[in-house]
Amino acid sequence: MTPVLVFDIETIPDAAGLRRLHPDWSELTDADVAERAFSARREKTGGDFLPLHLHRIVAISCVLRNDAGFRVGSIGASTDSEASLIQSFFGMIDRHSPQLVSWNGTCFDLPVLHYRGLLAGVSATRYWDLGDDDREFRYNNYIARYHTRHLDLMDVLAMFQSRSNAPLDELSKLAGYPGKLGMDGSRVWRAYCDGEIEQIRGYCETDVVNTYLLFNRFQKMRGVLNGDQHAAEEALVRETLQRQPAAHWSEYLQAWPDPVAVG
């Protein structure tokens, strides 16, 4: 089978970068730098959301589904540098040449990875192949919005119309999956300031499982999976999560009742 790699990132304000851009902020704490940046952004746009190149990546979580089975986790350790996390992510693409799947990856995750990877000096040879090394990538690569090596599930379901976008949390819950549990992107910075990086990584991991489950529902809708295959894939995910010791998986499974057990 073609490996499937579902990915999601979590970010915080790039305090060090903001200090370079604003030398008069050099003596401020990270929290104060972030608040200055949020305040300037609110004045300009009405919201706190910073430009993508000013997002520092603190977690990258993935589902990898291949012939070896189903795996979910966060790349590296919570103490790893941003450069190490990004290099490891692109290294997975170099090794597996997977089908990439995301939720809003076209407009957020991938552009952030591009900017931050460029600044960190990482290598991403397979990802950026547009047919120079592999002719098949000329007509189907990770970069083109309408190619399928990267499937932004939100973008496709919305027919590439941003006004039609649906939130991952709501669509997951409507489909019978747990959705987000106790955290969302707007709370990541506060959680990071409170030293809760492991909780952030756990939250990111549940997001990629939500996305994978919706992807399989999509594969069933378009005829790639039949009903039995889809049920077997969901059972594999559930059985894998049941073997995971982390507390967020117990909470996730409690919010995702087993239809067989309920019946």
- Amino acid (1-letter code) at residue 253: L
**Residue 217 corresponds to which amino acid?**
R
Mean of pLDDT over the chain: 95
> What CATH architecture does domain 4-262 belong to?
2-Layer Sandwich (3.30)
> Phi and psi for 4 in degrees, rounded to 5?
-115, 130
% of the chain surpassing 90 pLDDT: 90
Q: Is the pLDDT of residue 25 over 50?
A: yes
Residues 6+ apart with CB under 8 A from 106: 145, 150, 152, 155
Question: ∠ CA 177-190-193 to the nearest 5 degrees?
Answer: 125
Q: What is the CA radius of gyration of the chain?
A: 19
pLDDT score of 183: 75
The mean per-residue pLDDT over the stretch 130-159 comes to 93
Asked if residues 73 and 66 have their Cβ atoms less than 8 Å apart, the reply is no
* Lowest mean pLDDT, pick from 13-22, 178-187, 191-200: 178-187
pLDDT score, position 118: 98
- pLDDT above 70 (res 262): no
User: What was the pLDDT predicted at 258?
Assistant: 78
Query: What DSSP state is assigned to residue 51?
Result: P
State the Cα–Cα distance between residues 44 and 1, nearest whole angstrom.
Answer: 48
pLDDT for position 158 = 97
> What is the band of 257 on the pLDDT scale with cuts at 50, 70, 90?
confident
pTM of the model: 0.95
**Calpha distance 65→32 (Å, rounded):** 41
48's tokens: 């706190």
User: What's the one-letter identity of residue 174?
Assistant: L
What's the burial of 53, exposed, middle or buried (CB within 10 Å: 0-12/13-18/19+)?
middle
pLDDT (tens digit per residue) in 225-254: 999 999 999 999 999 999 999 999 999 999
- CA–CA separation, 188 and 201 (whole Å): 10
3-state secondary structure 213-249: HHHHHHHHHCCCCCHHHHHHHHHHHHHHHHCCCCHHH
pLDDT at residue 191 greater than cutoff 90: yes
Residue type, 29: T
Q: Is the pLDDT of residue 259 over 80?
A: no
Q: What are phi and psi of 231, to 5 degrees?
A: -65, -40
| pLDDT digits 0-9 by tens, 100-121 | 999 999 999 999 999 999 999 9
Sequence ranges of the domains in the chain:
4-262
How many C-beta atoms surround the C-beta of residue 114 within 10 A?
17
Asked whether the beta carbons of 183 and 199 are under 8 A apart, the reply is yes
In angstroms, the CA 97 to CA 142 distance is: 10
> Using DSSP, how many helices (H) and how many strands (E) does the chain show?
12, 5
Tokens 């591009």: give the residue: 114
